[in-house]
Structure 1
């Protein structure tokens, strides 16, 4: 209850002031009634959850919900590292618990929400060399069947999260591997490719029935996530960023999926969506902006970031747009302005970034956004060079 009260107070402040005004006023003055109310219940909730975790029989349902809400509360306050710490600790605790494959609706909701937040942590600002969390795999009723089938969209959604998580863990394994082309890695890559294809086929069967507008939108988002996982999977075993150029058409088709959804969310709805725990749009647009080197397509992705819902899980759309612009500026180095109008010029391998890390700024940075760009000046060498960029995010 304390967590919900704190969350409600923060949400009320953000709704009335707007996020930017709320954040600046919150930093300048913490004596307001709502701020004090939120801080009190936030601290009280933290105290109670610590007692619950240390008990002989910890209430798993409470821990699941608290894990998600605490991560969101910290992120709403701008405490990115604290949000990640809450999430990682909670996921680690749940990882040691036995999960029933006959979980109730509440358990499925809570676990899929945690899976979403965990996945968003993995993607946050680090599409390549990521600090991975304990990804939580949510059980499905038909798990273990040779070919998946989904009774409803919720089952397809959970399977989508699980598959995305498996792909990310595979990417991490490849990053650490001495030989990314080793037979066992190739076999696992092939297995994941088959699972992605099976998911796509199962969804095609599911959508053969009549869908509402909301259901069709959900399916479109899941298909976009599946396509990005496919790109991630096919490109991760090579050390060259030019591999992503094979997927330029796919990147453009992804933007065609996201644009009408963003328009619906931000314009057609009576109240634009300000925050979501779902891994939906922002990380995908950020990924496209930094991995697609076609100058017009990546700039379209940045433009859509600025039209998208401001906050999703551990993502901030404006921060992502600023970081993407820094990456584009680094890679292109005025190429876009001088390009031949009849020919698109893509950055050479040695100018391309392998990692774009959005980091939490300390007080010495005057609130600016700290972005670490990791490049490899010599394409055939595995030694990386880091460039730190500070961006005014106010």
Structure 2
């Protein structure tokens, strides 16, 4: 319990290194306790820690591991899920003891949001463990990118993620019910965002080209749509509390607006949550989506939301995404590759506006959408006519592969608000010269 609490406190004050140390210490303690129970010669040694604490600790481990995968920390700030890697063979992944003890099969339909979250946490830990273990066997694996021939080993995870998505669909649709509380509606949207992100990143583990991310453009837009729901509802509640009379509102937006001037959340205050939320999925969109409009929407949502979720800081993520976008989209005098939008890449799969509506790109909030608990927040009523709306575009300009870069290392201090960012080519073997390498220092 002390490890959990101290990890949360360290995340709150922005000391991610100490937070990772706390999680590492708790992970070692948990394994020691379990080893002692196994050595006690009990017929069925019980779990030495309460299940609720195991769930919290599992989520902290996933959070720390996601942070490492995004920013590529050096030792000793790396969470290891497979301490005994090398003992087992790659045909039997998962040699280390699990953090979570939940091994229930994914049902046809989840009975509750809680069940869906437990199943996703377990699945997330398993494929993180698989990726870590496979990377250890592939000695020259660049930045955790696995050879395509290993994809067969991980095929089952993609099938399980698809099964999870199908089982979660009824709960996802239920978020639009008028009786649904705002808190539960947000939790549903956030869980779906993280599942979409997880599936993208797992499938990209076997790809050595950044262009492969283009196939997930509808998924990137789904993430942005869901984030707009979450932030929109927060903005509506904050505006009603801070400025009950809009005619006398003195709050002004702090950032430029990509949504046509009607979607800047100017009433939301900075917030902290010990659990993951919208920041990691939006960071993936900001750094991996090469549709400039969708990417800029993600960056604005990060800056507007002003939140820290565990060790994830929205402002740092927004600035990293913004810098990568500026590098990739800078004019080098060579014509960019253009591709017309097709029905398969343009349509968002999620129903955002109402239970019966389907829209592409970002959602349109009409006058018929309820604004009470469980309803979508409406930041403006003219979204459909916005000149920046994806619905009005007939073609999309994607960043060409020759200009694409990925994060290779980030050293930062959230307390001093400074970061050193190194980016370069995907799939490059460590030690090789990288012609795309770019470095920068970010201060905010």
Assess same fold via TM > 0.5. yes
Residues 360 and 370 of structure 1 are in contact (CA less than 8 Å); yes or no, is this contact kept in structure 2? yes
Secondary structure of the residue that 2:421 maps to in structure 1? strand
Post-superposition CA distance 1:156-199 (Å, at most 9, x none):
1122122223333344445553684465x323321101211221
Match 1:248 to one of 190, 193, 217:
217
What is the CA–CA distance in structure 2 between the aligned matches of 1:246 and 1:261, rounded to whole Å?
25
Q: How does 1:217-228 map to 2 (within 5 A)?
A: 217-228=186-197
What is the CA–CA distance in structure 2 between the aligned matches of 1:283 and 1:362, rounded to whole Å?
16
Task: State the structure with bigger RCO (CA 8 A, min sep 6), 1 or 2.
Answer: 2
Residues 276 and 311 of structure 1 are in contact (CA less than 8 Å); yes or no, is this contact kept in structure 2? yes
Q: How does 1:273-284 map to 2 (within 5 A)?
A: 274-284=271-281
What is the CA–CA distance in structure 2 between the aligned matches of 1:259 and 1:387, rounded to whole Å?
31
Partner residue of 2:30? 94
- Post-superposition offset of 1:356: 5.0
Gaps of at least 5 residues in structure 1 are 1-64
Partner residue of 2:124? 164
Residues 104 and 119 of structure 2 are in contact (CA less than 8 Å); yes or no, is this contact kept in structure 1? no
Distance 1:267 1:123, change over 3 A: farther
Q: How does 1:97-176 map to 2 (within 5 A)?
A: 97-98=33-34, 107-124=50-67, 126-127=69-70, 132-135=78-81, 137-140=99-102, 143-145=103-105, 147=107, 150-173=110-133, 175-176=135-136
Q: How does 1:332-371 map to 2 (within 5 A)?
A: 332-334=329-331, 343-361=395-413, 368-371=418-421
Partner residue of 1:31? none
Residues 361 and 370 of structure 1 are in contact (CA less than 8 Å); yes or no, is this contact kept in structure 2? no
- Post-superposition offset of 1:246: 0.7
- Post-superposition offset of 1:236: 1.4
Post-superposition CA distance 1:236-268 (Å, at most 9, x none):
111111000111121012111111111223441
Partner residue of 1:268? 237
Structure 1 window deviating more from structure 2 (220-229 vs 107-116): it is 107-116
What is the CA–CA distance in structure 2 between the aligned matches of 1:148 and 1:101, rounded to whole Å?
31
Report how many aligned residue pairs link the two structures.
321
Residues 125 and 357 of structure 1 are in contact (CA less than 8 Å); yes or no, is this contact kept in structure 2? no
- Post-superposition offset of 1:82: 1.5
| Structure 1 vs Structure 2 CA RMSD | 3.6
Gaps of at least 5 residues in structure 2 are 38-43, 82-97, 242-267, 339-392
What is the CA–CA distance in structure 1 between the aligned matches of 2:113 and 2:46, rounded to whole Å?
18
- Post-superposition offset of 1:144: 4.5
- Post-superposition offset of 1:120: 1.9
- Post-superposition offset of 1:367: 5.1
- Post-superposition offset of 1:312: 0.5
Q: How does 1:291-302 map to 2 (within 5 A)?
A: 291-302=288-299
What is the CA–CA distance in structure 2 between the aligned matches of 1:355 and 1:172, rounded to whole Å?
18
Partner residue of 1:16? none
Match 1:204 to one of 152, 165, 169:
169
Partner residue of 2:374? none
Secondary structure of the residue that 1:127 maps to in structure 2? helix
Post-superposition CA distance 1:181-232 (Å, at most 9, x none):
465x323321101211221232235568777233333222212211111111
- Post-superposition offset of 1:149: 5.8
Partner residue of 2:152? 187
Partner residue of 2:323? 326
Partner residue of 2:442? 391
**1:257 maps onto 2:226 in alignment:** yes
- Post-superposition offset of 1:116: 2.1
What is the CA–CA distance in structure 2 between the aligned matches of 1:230 and 1:314, rounded to whole Å?
21
What is the CA–CA distance in structure 2 between the aligned matches of 1:297 and 1:208, rounded to whole Å?
23
What is the CA–CA distance in structure 1 between the aligned matches of 2:23 and 2:127, rounded to whole Å?
20
Structure 1 window deviating more from structure 2 (255-264 vs 220-229): it is 220-229
Distance 1:182 1:192, change over 3 A: same
Residues 128 and 354 of structure 1 are in contact (CA less than 8 Å); yes or no, is this contact kept in structure 2? no
Secondary structure of the residue that 2:398 maps to in structure 1? coil
- Post-superposition offset of 1:107: 3.1
Structure with the larger helix share = 1
Secondary structure of the residue that 1:369 maps to in structure 2? strand
